[in-house]
Structure 1
């Protein structure tokens, strides 16, 4: 008899998540949920808003509860944002406590450190907490890093997605780093790989996937394409992703930049896409031009899984995610010229790159195996929930 079959069906894990979208940490959480469902747990996921994540959670066998939750974002530092944060916290305390009373979970799985109220509510009811850390804000002040890390002391177990993120925790509180366990993100690849073009006839096809925000450096990618054009090198940029609410000004700024540079025929905005594989497969190279620290580099790994070379900023978790791959190149952050040089280098070395991408894709599949990730998460949760 397996551990899953011995466990009473009423045993529940409640997963607290800060959004209902389908970006990096959202997709990793889906694999955590699948691992728990496969292990026999009843999984309830609490999200603050409606969104595309909900249908995918239900498809994987989880129940979903809409429950407001205060989320730590930069807007909290403004007077209006702080008032909104406090108001949401009061409502969340009532509804979150009610949800915990009703579900009586064996464990609360807090996905990211941006929802600090859930560990408090769980521990007040004597429920063990596991926190999965997806953040690594090394550029934040020491005081801010310590404030963000404080709720982790309420966690029985801490899972961290990279050595870099562990280092950030250790720099705040050494004991937290010592209690953390690294589990690299599960990153599913495409159902079928599309071979790269044997020859780069026509413009170089560049792809950006991710949030549209200043920290992600989308404008740097646009600047690099503009520089290539000035050098007489043809390149098209396909931008896949949307903005956080409140950052609409940045999207407008990007479109205005494209217009002023005369790149309307070379830069296309696709908005959010539930699946990116067709766009990645029709492209030649993926760029990850982040300006600031990234705890890991899911997009870089996705490019490699799709058998596409990747050019990423030489910073934080991106260095960790791209290490050891022949077709991964890193460049100075916030430097459009360095990115343009690397893109031109991709063209010049295309024959060797096209031959090496298959081996890199195979290695990425091994490192970020979905099945291995699911088993590890299930084992950790089972251990943390055992009283």
Structure 2
């Protein structure tokens, strides 16, 4: 266990619970682990429509900045200009500023940290360049200029996967290091497999193939259409978002459960026979880890974060990105081999056993300490 130094950390995040997404979840776990390690985190996040009671269960104080819903995607809120960011850094007497997926609010946090002379660590989590290339057809260079401009001002950028680290370095982002994500191996575990839930989801004993995540264009959930057509297969989709109507139309026969969280979500994960992630733009892909922790074999695209997580022929299958036929064929092959599914699931559980949020939190504190030490050396040298 790392020696408690009681660091004062301000986490500036583009999203925080009750939002349900990778950035919000990682920011929550970061705050929780810092508090457990004896440090003093404070979160700055966009205001939510959930009201003043939204932060009652937060592991630390939360400062909310006025925000507006993103047009066409109200689940995402964009922070408005506010003096609360700088005031939070000053009031908390921050020693380190942690910027979670900085773009709008994070850029303001970076600027405030620079003015105040506070070291900043930026965590890269969203492939905005890939989104621009795939869904707009232009603007990738502009997105990368923005990413580079924000992250170049940080003392250190943390990438969640080797693919993300290579992308950042290739686009000229300096001082990049690797920092993965943790998974709650107590909450997500094979023992939660529920026979009654399985009967409800697949009353004729079908193989249950699940997707869990946001329903948005970049997630490409429609690639499961071929799997839906397979005899003896039931596709279950968990999540919500702007593409819910399109997903329902593209996946006839699928069961769309909407958003599920907490113990219910863990029970669903453990009750799957296969987990399929379809999005090709993941810098990490937390749901793949959660499926592996649940003892469920994984099918995912051979791109981005899943390249680090899924070992083909051992914990699951990697398929070419955006290839619906490859997804269908991988589902069909594993559907026919229960012994291989069981072996992949057991190996996946073993692979993530040491990837706890506690271990990841200690790694993060190590990055903070190195950044602070480098700042001290610079001051002494000057």
Cα 1:55–1:328 shift into 2, 3 Å: farther
Compared with structure 1, are the counterparts of its residues 157 and 45 closer, same or farther at alpha carbon in structure 2 (3 Å cutoff)? same
Residue 341 of structure 1 pairs with residue 329 of structure 2:
yes
Structure 1 CA distance, aligned partners of 2:329 and 2:53? 42
CA contact (8 A) 2:47 2:67 kept: no
How far apart in 2 are the matches of 1:325 and 1:381? 37
Q: Are the aligned partners of 1:16 and 1:111 in contact in 2 as well (CA < 8 Å)?
A: yes
**Cα RMSD (Å) of the superposition?**
3.1
Structure 2 counterpart of 1:273: 260
Query: How many residues were matched structurally?
Result: 348
Higher share of residues assigned helix = 1
The question of whether the paired residues in 1 share the 8 Å contact of 2:194 and 2:271 is answered with: no
The alpha-carbon distance between structure 1 residues 164 and 257, as it changes in their structure 2 partners (threshold 3 A), is closer
Alpha carbons 1:137, 1:295 under 8 Å: kept: no
Query: Equivalent residue for 2:209?
Result: 206
| 8 A contact 1:137–1:168 mirrored in 2 | no
Contact 1:135 1:294 (8 Å CA) reproduced: yes
State the secondary structure of the residue aligned to 2:296.
coil
Q: Aligned pair 1:323/2:311, yes or no?
A: yes
CA distance in 2, matches of 1:164, 1:181: 12
Q: State the Cα distance separating 1:196 from its structure 2 match.
A: 7.2
Task: Look up the match of 1:79.
Answer: none
Relative to structure 1, the CA distance from residue 75 to residue 116 in structure 2 (aligned partners, 3 Å threshold; closer, same or farther) is farther
Shift of 1:138: 5.8
Q: CA deviation at 1:59?
A: 4.2
C-alpha contact 1:216 1:289 (8 A) present in aligned 2: yes
Structure 1 residues 27-176: aligned runs within 5 Å: 27-50=25-48, 59=57, 61-68=59-66, 89=80, 91-92=81-82, 94-114=83-103, 115-137=106-128, 139=130, 140=133, 141-173=140-172, 176=174
TM-score (norm: length of structure 1): 0.80
Q: For the Cα contact (< 8 Å) 2:14–2:102, is it kept in 1?
A: no
- CA change 1:61–1:196 in 2 (3 A) is closer
Counterpart of 2:222 (choices 203, 219, 222) is 219
Among residues 183, 189, 195, which one is paired with 1:187 in the alignment? 183
Deviations 1:216-251 (A, max 9, x none): 011111x123331xxxx12111111121xxx3xx22
Alpha-carbon distance, 1:348 to partner:
1.5
Deviation of the 1:123 alpha carbon: 0.9
Spell out the pairing of 1:368-387 with structure 2 (5 A cutoff): 368-385=355-372, 387=376
What is residue 198 of structure 2 aligned with on the other side? none
Aligned 8 A contact 1:109 1:129 in 2 = yes
Task: Report matched runs for 1:226-305 at 5 Å.
Answer: 226-228=228-230, 233-243=231-241, 247=242, 250-258=243-251, 263=252, 266-275=253-262, 276-290=265-279, 292-305=280-293
Q: Which has the higher contact order (CA 8 A, sep 6+)?
A: 1
